[in-house]
Each structure stands twice: as C-alpha cells, then as structure tokens.
Amino acid sequence: MKKYLLLFLLIIFIRPADAQDDPAWKELNEIAVIDQKVMMPMRDGIRLATDIYRPKTDEKVPVIFSRTPYNFNSWRDGEFRGRTLQRALEAVKRGYAYVVQNERGRFFSEGEWDILGTPLTDGYDAFSWLADQPWSNGKVGTLGCSSTAEWQMAVAAMDHPAHAAMVPQGFGAGVGRVGEFYEQGNWYRGGAEQMLFFAWLYSTQHDEMAPVLPEGITQEDLQRIQRFYDMAPEYPRVDWSEGLQHLPIQDIIKNVDGPKGVFEKMVRRKPNDPAWYEGGLYHDDMGFGVPSFWFVSWYDVSSSPNLALFNHVRNNIEDPEVADNQYLVIAPTLHCGFTRATENTVVGERSVGDATLDYDHLVYGWFDHWLKGENEDFLETLPRVQYFTMGSNEWQTSETWPPQDAQMTAFYLDSDGSANSRFGDGTLDTSPPDEDHPDTFTYDPMNPVPSYGGNVCCTGNAVQGGAFDQQQMETRNDILVYTSDPLEEGIEISGFIESTLFLSSDVKDTDVTIKIIDVYPDGKAYNLDETIQRVRYREGYDKEVFMEEGNVYEVNLTPMSTSNFFAKGHRIRIEISSSNFPRFARNLNTGGNNFDESEGVVAHNTIHHSKDHPSVIKLPIVGNLKLEQR
C-alpha cells in the first residue's frame, strides 16, 4: 500500500505571476470559459486531470482534444505551457473547445503510468465524456505531435462514434508492426534497439518510489495548488554522449541514477514479445475508423513506418469512407519541426530553401470539414499527398506514395575488393558485376562508427539530427563506400528505398547498417536516410537464426525513404557498415542477449557482390536516369 508523503517533499515552486503575465492567458480569460483540473472519470474509477478552454457561447461546439504525458500546467513556466495556451487560444477563436489531458499516472492524473498511456479504454472513455458535455456538439478531433500523437492510432482502431477526425504528427512511436516494419513503437529498427528511448525514458518515466497526491483530491484543491506546486520532478542533466556508451545497456538509466520504471522491463523484450501487443501500439491486424491527416518529417526517427501506415490504412481498411479520407504531408524537417520551417530552412548543415507551409490552414480546414460540417469543398482542393523534394527544394503533390511515376531502378554494388572508406574503389552501377571481389571490414563494438546527423530525435546531446557532410566519417576503414558516376542529368528519387546485401562473417551475429548519400560536385556528402538490420532476425522477428563461418547470407534491410533531387553532376552514394552508434545500440557480436552483456567480440564482416550474390539497392526514380561514362 502506498504511503502518501507531504506535498512539499515532491513539488517545485512556481512563480504565480507566470500565467497571469502571458498574453495568451489574458486573451483567453476574455473570450473563453476556462475549467482547469477537471478530474475526468475512467471506467475503472481512475480520474485524469483535464484542462478545458471553450468559447463563451450558448451554441454547442466541437472539441479538439490533445492527450499527453507532458506537463501542460498553465502556471508552470516553460515551452510546453506556452504552446498549450497558444493552441487553446487559436482553437477558441475558431469556435472550438480545446481540451488537454494528462495520461494516467502523469502529474495530476491518477493511476499508474505506462508508455502510451494504456489502457486504450482511457481514450475511448474520454471521447464519451467529451461528447456528453452540454456544451459539446458531440464531435471530437484529436491533435498532437510525438507523444501527444502516438496514442491516437490504436484508439482509432476502436472506432468511437464521437472520434470524427484526427491529425497525428510525428507519430512513429505509436506504430507497433506494420508490414515489414517491426519497430514496436520505435524501440527497434531491424531488430536493433533505437537508443532514443533510453534517454527519453530517463526524463519521462515515473520512479516506483515517487510520491502521489491523496486519493479523491478535489478539483478546487487542484486548481489552488497548481498555482504554486507542481508534480514535475527535476531530473539532473545527463551528458548522453557519455551516458549511452555504458554497458550493459540494461543498466544505462541505473548508471546515471535515473528513475526506476518501465524501461527495465522494456529493454529485455525481443522484437516479437507478446507484451508489445498488449499495450497502446497500433498493429496492422487492427481495424481503423477515423479520417486522418498525417504529418511526417524526412529527418524524423520513423518516416518509413509512418508512410507504410498511411498506405496500410488507405489500402487495407474495408470502410471506404475511412480508406478514402487519408491525407499526408511530408516536410523536410526534424521531429515535430513542421512549423519551424522558414524561407531558408536548414536541416543540420544543408539548406533546403523555402519549406514553409500554411499548417493552420490545413489543420483547421480539416477540422472545419469533419467537426463542423463546414468548408465542404476543402477535400476537393486538398492534395492527397504533399511532399517536399530536397535538392530541387520544392513542394510537390501526388495521389499516392510513392508517386505513381516512380520506377524502381537497381544499382548494384561493385569494387575490386577495396571499398573501404571514400578513398576506396567501391562503385554503384546499373549492371550487376560478373565476378565477386568481396569487401571485408573489421567491426569492433568497442570502437563503433559514430552517428553523425541522421533521422533521429530525443537523444539529448548524443546525436544531432539532420543532414551533415559525411566526408570525414567516410575516411574510416570500417565503412564501405559505393558511389555512382556523376549524373548527366538531374533525377528525383522519391519513395521507399529497398536494399539487399549478401554477408558473411566470422561471428554468430552482427548488424548491417546502410545510409543513402547525396554527393555534391565539390565532395560534400549529405545523408538522406539510414537503416539497420540485426542479422539474427534476417528470417523474421519470431525466431533467431545465427550465422556459421564460411556461409554467405542474404540480408534484406527495412526500406529507407526520401524525396531528393540529385542535380546534374551529383553522385549517389551508399555507405555500409555494422554500427551507427548511439543512433542504434551496438551489437556485441556474441549471439547472446546483448542487453545484459558488457564484453564484445570483434567481427570481420564481408559484403559480397556478384551474379550469384548481387548486393543491390533499388531506388524509386522519377524520370530518366543518365550517368556519365567512366
């Protein structure tokens, strides 16, 4: 039985003037009915803390609902508070009630927290409560990015009659299994752990010893104490560039004296563990009942599974009204960076020009259509897919993803046996090589290839996302580099990028990593996307099949995605190695559990390329390909 501690042992003092001085707060007080810390009851009696901002009107209004694990206390100074008040103000001005709620077990909400705010019935019960309010018109739209979006897909499978539309943005950690992607909420990529959650859970999960508020605390008391107390713990800052190097990885949070919580059980789960199918993740054997406007970023952690989910809903959901009302935007930004695009958008080191888009027009046009029954011609003018092509730096439209005129074109790896580093002889060619001159490199897990830029989020100072010049990285001999001839004419590559490699090794298990690169005439080499495959899972995630020395194994990696224009004189490059750390946890090559191991084995890995073993990358090319002759 939990013992309740005095509030002053856990609470952070907040200046009471913070909210009162905020211009959005002042304007909201003039135009909105504000009802904070409403304790919304769930079917099991747990109550979730909810703030409601609604127009001062006698007319019934629709609801825009954001559910989040983050702290939205309007009396707490900070970025999230400011975003919440601005969103509430914009919604109220447009005739919506804006409702924000904490997942169970977070801050003032009751119950025990688990990632994605399970059980799913919490979302369903919230829809019912909101639809029943006397000021509600009975229609609810859900909105949010990242952890405020990721719960929406699984709840959409429950098809609540009030859940009329949703706008999930940067939603990858809500995708469990879709098609060939078994990411289980971004925990894995190709069976290798994505280390973003190691850092994210440090500052998110609740310690099992954390004190809680008394049961049955009243709304009046919560409204009073939120002005000068807060349930947010202060986590000491961690240098994750050092912290993520700790072994074994199961002790990474423990090693920095972090909170005990769900991480300890999640880090031990394998990619097809039954526990992944019991929580708040969406899997492709579930239904789907909600018209959706999806927002994806090229340099987010999970653009490929996000795009695969969009296609899955469009192509596999039986209800034609749902399947036909899926729309997509793909922006050239980092995680949740849509509105940060400017007339000179720089992602990492690379400028992609003017990537601005009128997101308010799109989002509220969508909600006006589905929640108010207004703006009836909105869908007639809304492109099915709006995607930004880097390189040509332009927004484009398509009826499908990938674009219908994208043709898969094979580029085969070849060399004279020395593709190590950019100073090697690795080439990409549209014709397969006749003979095998395999390339061998040494992978030492104690000296992994460092992550440099990339499609990532949430790793603190360990990895900076985006496009960065990879030339210095490509001087390492444990990176194989394969480069095409310069292009005679520019080409667009837009869609899923498939890759098949043939590998042999002297260890039981290892990883294979790959990057696709745009090489400029001056040598700058900007990364576009990357992926990884843990070789033990090459035959599926429901079994582990280890290698034997002397054998060659086919390894199909999960697809990458991009839209990039390779201008005339540019070259297409592929990097291959066995580590991309700490973007992905390093494989210690032992064939053991990996999560509980501290000692690695050096691997000597070989990539084969011949008629019998055609290591290949298939690129979705829009237009005709012309390469300069060697």
Q: What are phi and psi of 489, to 5 degrees?
A: -135, 155
- Cα gap 51→38, rounded to integer Å: 6
Distance of CA 528 to the CA centre of its chain: 16
In this structure, is residue 40 part of a structural domain? yes
Model confidence over 464-486: pLDDT tens digits? 999 999 999 999 999 999 999 99
Question: In whole angstroms, how far apart are CA 135 and each of 239, 386, 442, 469?
Answer: 48, 35, 66, 54
Range of the domain at 424: 406-622
Q: Final residue of a domain: which of 109, 124, 143?
A: 143
In the predicted model, residues of the chain with pLDDT beneath 50 are: 1-17
Q: Order of strands, edge to edge, in the sheet holding 282-283?
A: 181-182, 175-178, 282-283
β-sheet bridge partners, residue 616:
412, 500
Domain with residue 523: its CATH number is: 2.60.120.260
In this structure, is residue 375 part of a structural domain? no
Strand runs labelled E in 42-110: 47-55, 61-68, 97-102
pLDDT of residue 78: 62
In this structure, is residue 162 part of a structural domain? no
**Domain count of the chain?**
2
In this structure, is residue 374 part of a structural domain? no
pLDDT of residue 117: 74
pTM for this entry: 0.95
Domain with residue 29: its CATH number is: 3.40.50.1820
- Cα gap 105→49, rounded to integer Å: 10
In this structure, is residue 265 part of a structural domain? no
- Cα gap 80→146, rounded to integer Å: 13
Q: Final residue of a domain: which of 84, 109, 143?
A: 143
Q: Which H/E stretch holds residue 196?
A: helix 196-202
Q: Final residue of a domain: which of 143, 166, 201?
A: 143
In this structure, is residue 164 part of a structural domain? no
Model confidence over 408-446: pLDDT tens digits? 999 999 999 999 999 999 999 999 998 889 999 999 999
In this structure, is residue 444 part of a structural domain? yes
The residue among 228, 181, 250, 190 whose CA lies nearest residue 77 is 228
- Cα gap 431→582, rounded to integer Å: 35
The single residue listed with the structure tokens 């969103």 is 87
Give the 3-state secondary structure of residue 468.
coil
The answer to whether the beta carbons of residues 571 and 243 sit under 8 Å apart is: no
In this structure, is residue 316 part of a structural domain? no
